[in-house]
Structure 1
């Protein structure tokens, strides 16, 4: 379930949305797909701050409990949803999952994106999405990746996409420092849903009418530091900077074109 805006998924989004906790289970699968009879369980807790919604100039605190269960190629966790993943020895990776996007509220909330500034815009209800990722390692320290969130049910909010590069800046026995640079795009329905203002919404809110088309709406850069304490405990610190551009740059809903997200998480692997 995604509690953060897409550019942070970890990214983050994410990440990856979000974005960030997904790095922990992926680290265990970096060399090859897990053995079919191997089960990994990870519990974690993350705390940080994120913009109240995409383009907001105010922030809200994040408290993210995390549970990840992985058995062979199967996984189920609180950030990526339920799905399958594959990682080859040649560096090619792919995954497919079903997840849920919380949408956006027209009021301040601590559990999902939204803000009082959006009153009159109406809520964007949640949607079930199919998430697909592809990645290919180009060098020992560099990989290219892509992600698609395809709306399956719920709010007709359109589809979003992400394309990026991730590089390993430092890798030791206990520490991994990585940098990810991504472009975030949406189809016309997605961009209009999150950045556009219809005539009816304009009459109910303080915003002027604005139409968004398909294309890139943001660029982001994420710096992630994963530190292994022992065989069970590890920590993750992440900083993501997002710049709204192109389809979102002139949107009246984007009150600040640049935003940041910070997250610190501690994980326990059984």
Structure 2
């Protein structure tokens, strides 16, 4: 799960209700500041202001990180969600609001795509859960599909503070990995990068530590730091300038 997704998910209300439509709207608004790599594999960073909004009622939700969809949680700890979201792709110039870098001039812009995001999770113990996610391209740029398998553990919990640790494996099909890590012969001629063909498989592992502090029934903060380590599947790409990259987020949330 991304750091932004963690911030929204940790501040969300429970979806369990007597009715699938719920009995009230739960609205959360937040404002965050993130420090992120300019693109996957970059050794340069960008800062981005992130407005965050989550609206939930029953099994239905809409938020700025996960899109618009449905989510369900059983008493046994099994959960499932399905949502429509948008991948902003990658540009070939520096940008503050989407991935991209001047170093990619000649690679061409990866246009945005509408994606379907499907996730299942299972609570294994009171402090550990497992989840699997598939993000499938629906429309727009034919950028392929990506997948994630991970574990989330609660390292500390009190009435006001919760600390969680996420560990994930990230994989893509051949088209996805080629789109974001590959260099075609034409792109090689334009940029001077060596050619690289990216096959399907795990392209990175990541870990993220998040701390949520609750002030009262309305106000809370979330701080997250993460690290992503690229695998041999993609480290040979000239676009991957570092074996490991970091990210960070701090956000203030208000629940209505």
User: Structure 1 residue aligned with 2:140, among 146, 151, 154?
Assistant: 154
Residue deviations 1:170-206, cap 9 Å, x none? 0100110000000000000000000000000000002
Q: Equivalent residue for 1:5?
A: none
How far the C-alpha of 1:89 sits from its partner, in A, is: 1.1
User: Structure 1 residue aligned with 2:81, among 95, 109, 126?
Assistant: 95
Q: Equivalent residue for 1:22?
A: 8
CA distance in 1, matches of 2:101, 2:231: 21
In structure 2, stretches of 5+ residues that fail to align are: none
Residue 191 of structure 1 contacts residue 247 of structure 1 at CA under 8 Å; is this kept in 2? Answer: no
Residue 231 of structure 1: SS of its match in structure 2?
A: coil
1:33 equivalent to 2:19? Answer no
1:182 equivalent to 2:168? Answer yes
| RMSD value, Cα | 1.0
1:112 equivalent to 2:98? Answer yes
User: Structure 1 residue aligned with 2:184, among 174, 195, 198?
Assistant: 198
Residue deviations 1:138-158, cap 9 Å, x none? 001000001110000000000
CA distance in 2, matches of 1:98, 1:25: 20
Q: Equivalent residue for 1:6?
A: none
CA distance in 2, matches of 1:33, 1:42: 17
Instruction: Report the number of matched residues.
Output: 253
CA distance in 2, matches of 1:207, 1:192: 14
CA distance in 2, matches of 1:214, 1:34: 40
Q: Equivalent residue for 2:157?
A: 171
CA distance in 1, matches of 2:129, 2:242: 31
Poorly superposed stretches of 4+, deviation over 4 Å: none
1:256 equivalent to 2:233? Answer no
User: Structure 2 residue aligned with 1:233, among 211, 215, 219?
Assistant: 219
TM normalised by structure 2 equals 0.96
User: Structure 2 residue aligned with 1:220, among 180, 200, 206?
Assistant: 206
How far the C-alpha of 1:34 sits from its partner, in A, is: 4.1
Residue 244 of structure 1 contacts residue 257 of structure 1 at CA under 8 Å; is this kept in 2? Answer: yes
Residue 6 of structure 2: SS of its match in structure 1?
A: coil
Q: Equivalent residue for 1:55?
A: 41
**Structure 1 residues 68-79: aligned runs within 5 Å:** 68-79=54-65
Residue deviations 1:117-170, cap 9 Å, x none? 100000000000000111000001000001110000000000000000110000
